[in-house]
Chains A and B, each alone.
Chain A
Amino acid sequence: MAAKQKKRYVMVIDTLLCIGCGDCVVACKMENEVPDGLSRDWVVEEVQGEFPNLHVEYRSERCNHCSNPPCVYACPTGASFIDEDSNITLVDPELCTGCKSCVAACPYDARFIMPEGYVSKCTFCMHRVNDGEDPACVSVCPTHCMYFGDLNDPESEVSQLLKQRQHKTIAPETGTDPNIFYLT
C-alpha cells in the first residue's frame, strides 16, 4: 500500500475580490468561540497612490502555517508543533506555559494569549477540515475570494489558481515559507 501523501494545506485569497467586510473575522470568532477582544484573523487595508489615481487592497490575514515556522522553533516546551499529516501549525494548550516566545517569534503577529494563559491562533479550522469542510472563514466569504486546499495535489483548485494567477505572500523575506497566498 502506498504511503498516504502528506498534505500541504494552503489558503489562496483573491485580493481582487476581497472587499474587507470582515465576515471571515466574525465567522472565525463564532466557530472557534474566540473570547471577546481577541481574534485569530483580521483584515488589512492598504491604500496606495494619490487622488484620483488610487489603489486599495484588502487582505484577510491570519497565521501563515509556515513550512519553516519560527514559532515552532522558538517554543521551549514543544507545545507549538506542526500536525503530522499536514502543515497545519498548532498549539497544545496542555504543554503551553504562556511564555510568549512564539508570540515574539511570529513575524505575522498571529498569536495571542488566551485568558486561561495559553497561546492560541488560527488552526485552519482543523476540526472542520477533518470533516471535509472548508475553514469557517472560507465557507462564509460573501465574494468567494478565499480558497482552501492541498497544494501537494496538482489538480486541486488552489494548485490551479497558483499556476494561473499572479500571487504573493506576506513577508517572504523572513524565510518562513508561508502558506497563505494572495492573488493580485
Chain B
Amino acid sequence: MPTSFNRRDFIKIGAAAGIGTAMVGPSLFRRHPTARTTYPRQQGDLIETSPTYCEICFWKCAGWVHSKNGKPWKVVGHPEDQHSHGRLCTRGTGGIGAYTDPERLKRPLIRVEERGEQVFREVSWDEALDYIAHKLSVIKETHGPESLAMFSHGTGASHWKTLTKAYGSACITAPSFAQCRGPRAAGFYLTYGDVVGSPERTDIANSRCMVLIGSHLGENLHNGQVQEMGTFLANGGEMIVVDPRFSTAAGKAKHWLPIKPSTDLALILAWIHVLIEEELYDRDYVERYTTGFEQLKEAVATNTPEWAYPITTIEPAVIRETARTMARYAPATLVHPGRHVTWYGDDTQRSRAIAILNALLGSWGREGGFYIPQTAQVPEYPHPEYPEPSWKMCEETQKIFPYALSPVASHIRDMTVAPPAPDKQVKAWLVYGSNLILSLPDIEKTIQAIQNLDLLVVIDIMPAEICGWADVVLPEATYLERYDDLRISPGRRPQIALRAPAFEPMYDTKPSGWIVKKLAAKMGLSQYFPWEDDEDYLDWRLRQIGSSLDEMLEIGVKTLPSQGPLYFPPGADVTFNTPSGMIELYSEQLEQYGFDPIPVYRAHQEPPAGYYRLIQGRSPFHTFARTTNNPILTELQDENTLWVHPTTAKDWGLETGQYVHLENQDGKHSTFPIRVQITERIRTDCVYMVHGFGHSQKQMSRSYGKGMDDNELVTNVDVDPIMGGTGRRSNFVTFKLENATPMEAA
C-alpha cells in the first residue's frame, strides 16, 4: 500500500535501496570508435540517419541523427528547417551527450522509509504507475481533480497535459512564463493584441539596425536568431547594445551603452521622447495604426535625455544619436524584445515601452522589424471532451495578476502553501522536465509547498534537484530515443518537423507517450488516448494534411504552402486584436486595473555599500541547468565564473581564478564557491554569473558543486503586479573570502 509522508526529506538519487541496484543496459561509452585512424568515415561503414528535432533547448531545431555501424555518431541540422537552416548550435551538436550521460535516471523510483530514513526504491513501471494512479484517485475523492497541478518544460509534456486535462484539472503551467518571457508576452499583447512568440517573429536577417536591451544574443544561442544576427552583421547592420556588461553582442555593436542596471526603462522613455520631439517617428504608421499618441507625447514630455542621464549614466548626446540611428533605418529597425525579461517587477511596463518604441519606428509588421508568423494547421487526434473543472487556476491567478496569460508557476507554488479557499487546494504536482528548485526563486518556499503535497511526481531525464523531493521519479527516454508530438511552430512559412527515435531507450527509461498511455489505463482514462501507439497517433495527424508518418520519416521536415504576406502590405488597413482594434500606445486596459496606462520609470533598490547587484545570464555552451552534466558540453565549460571589475577586485584583493563565496542582502550564503574572473567587461556596481551551475545532486558528478547557483541568492523577488513575473535582479551580493575552497578540495 502506498505510504504517505508527513515530511519529505531530500533524497540523493544515488541512495537507492531494494531491488534492481545492479547495473544493466548497454555499454555507455559509444562515442569513441576503435579504429586507429585519422579518417572517421571509412569505406564500408554503415551510416544510418533518422529525423529528429532537438530538445536540448526550447528552440527545437530539426536535424538528422547519424549512427555509424549501429552506434550513435552525431546530430546535424536539417537544411530545410527554419529553426536551424541546417546548422545546430553548440548544445544541439553535443546533444548525443544527453543520451550517453551515464548518470541519467535509469529506473522508476518510489520514496520509502527504511530504518527511519527516507530512500528511493527502484521499482517496476507497473508498480510506479499503480502507485501514482492510486494516489491520484484518493486525491480526486478528497480534494477534487482541480487539486492537481502540472509544471511543464519540454515537448514530452504534451502527453502529461492531456492526462491532466482528462483527469479534470486546468492547472497547467510552464515556469517559462512567469520566470522568463511572460512580461514580454503581456507587454506586447497589451500593445498589439498579439505576442512575440517562440521562435520570435523578429526579422533580424532583414534588419538594418538592431537594438538589444540586456539581451545577449550570441551568448544565448537561440539558433535561428543567432544565425540571423550573423547575416545582419555581415550585411553591415548597425547594432546598439544596452548592457552593464560588454557582452559578446556588445563587442559586435557600433554603440555599446553600459547602462546602470535597473534603469533601462528610463533610457527607453528618453528614446521615445527624442523620436517624438525631433519628429523622427513614422507619422503615417502612427496615424494609421495607433491610438493614444497625444497622451504618449504628453507623458514623455519630461523624459528628456538630460533627465535620463543621471539615472542611466548614458550621456544625452549618445541617447540622441542612437535614437536618430534607429529612426534612420526605420522601419527596418528592430528593438529586440528580449526573452528572459523578469528583472525588476516592472517588466511588463518595460516590455510595453519597447513595444511602443517599435510602434513609433513602424517596425511591427514591417520588413526588418517583426514579421507576421505562419503556423501549420494540423488537426488534433479526436478524443472525448475533457471534464469541466469546478475551478480553474488561471482564473484564480488572474484575480491577482490580471494579465497572467497562463497560470503562474510561482503563484501555484504559493497557493500550494496558502490555498485561496479551503476547497481550492493544490495537493499533487506533476513536474515534467522542470527543475523547480533551480528555476523558481525563493527555494525555501518551494520546499515548503512540496511539504504540503500529497503527491509529487517528477518526470525527468537527469536526477535534477527536484527529483530528490519527489514521491515518484519517472525516468524518461531522451529525445533521441523517442517519438514526440509533431513540432508545429510559427515561422516565415508553415512548417512541421518529426522526431523519431534514433536509438532504443537505454536502461529502463520510457517515452512519455508510452508512460502516459499506460498510466491513463490504470486511471480509467483510456478514452482520452484512443490511438494504438505514438506511430498511430502521428500517422493519423499527418494524414489529415496529406502526409504520413512514412513520408515524414523520409523527409523529417515538411514546409507547407504560405498562408499570406509576411508584412503588412503598404497602406493596408489592419485590425489589431486589442479593444480599440489599434496599436494601443495608451492602454485603457491597464488603466482600468489601476496600472500606468503609459510606462513610467520608477527607481529600483540600489545595492548597499560593499554589495553588488547580481546579474545572471546564459552561456553558449549550456541550456541553463539542463545541460551542465552533459559529458560533451562540460568539456567546454564545467563551472561558471563571477565577472568582477578590476576596481572591485582591487578593493577586495581578489585575483582571477580564486574561489569566493557570496552572501546576499538577506544573509543568504552560497553553498558552493565560485571562481573570480576579473574583467574590464563589466561595470563596477554589479557582478555577473551564468545561471545553471552549482548543482547539489551528488549523482551528477560532472556538475555537483561546480560553480555557483545564482538562484539560491535570489531571496528578494520583485513580483510584476500585471502578470505575476518574478523579477530577480534586486539581489545584492558581497564577498565572503573565508573557506572558499573548490569542491574537490573541500
Contact = CB atoms under 8 A, between A and B. Distances in A.
Contacts of B248: 19-20, 56, 58
Given A37-B635, A56-B248, A49 B680 contact: yes
Chief secondary structure at chain B's binding surface = loop
Given A30-B96, A127-B41, A55 B87 contact: no
Nearest to A48: B680
Contact of B38 (A30, A31, A90): A90
Contact of B645 (A23, A51, A128): A51
A22 B87 contact: no
Interface string B71-89: 0011111000000001111
B93 A52 contact: no
A159 B449 CA distance: 64
B635 A54 contact: no
Nearest to B683: A51
A120 B35 CA distance: 13
A128 B76 CA distance: 14
B38 A91 contact: yes
Given A141-B87, A144-B231, A145-B230, 6 more contacts: A19-B218, A23-B620, A27-B74, A51-B682, A127-B41, A128-B41
Contacts of A173: none
25 contacts: A20-B248, A21-B620, A22-B621, A23-B87, A23-B88, A29-B632, A30-B73, A31-B40, A31-B74, A39-B635, A51-B645, A54-B681, A55-B251, A56-B248, A90-B38, A93-B37, A94-B36, A126-B38, A127-B40, A140-B77, A143-B229, A143-B230, A143-B233, A144-B227, A144-B231
Contacts of A112: none
Nearest to B229: A143
Contacts of B681: 47, 51, 54, 56
Interface in A89-140: 90-94, 116, 118, 120, 123, 126-128, 139-140
A33 B681 CA distance: 35
Nearest to B41: A127
Contacts of A55: 251
Contacts of A123: 38-39
A25 B39 contact: no
Interface in B68-116: 73-77, 86-90, 93-94, 96
A4 B679 CA distance: 52
Pairs of residues from A and B, 6 with the lowest C-beta to C-beta distance, nearest first: A143-B230, A21-B620, A30-B74, A56-B251, A19-B218, A23-B90
Contacts of B229: 143
B567 to A, nearest CB: 25
Contact of B246 (A36, A51, A118): A51
Interface string B7-40: 0000000000000000000000001110011111
B635 A16 contact: no
Contacts of B221: 21, 142
A6 to B, nearest CB: 21
Interface of A: 14, 16-17, 19-23, 25-27, 29-33, 35-37, 39, 47, 49-52, 54-56, 58, 90-94, 116, 118, 120, 123, 126-128, 139-145
Nearest to B252: A16
Contacts of A94: 36
B223 A142 contact: yes
A16 B248 CA distance: 11
B501 interface: no
B233 A52 contact: no
B679 A36 contact: no
A22 B226 CA distance: 13
A23 B54 CA distance: 15
B93 A30 contact: yes
A116 B258 CA distance: 50
B300 to A, nearest CB: 27
Given A47-B681, A50-B680, A143-B233, A127 B39 contact: yes
B418 interface: no
B94 A26 contact: yes
B706 to A, nearest CB: 16
Given A47-B680, A51-B246, A56-B251, A144 B234 contact: yes
A52 B318 CA distance: 14
Contacts of A27: 74, 93
Interface string B389-411: 00000000000000000000000
Given A26-B94, A30-B96, A140 B76 contact: yes
B36 A116 contact: yes
Contacts of A26: 90, 93-94, 632-633, 636
A142 B39 contact: no
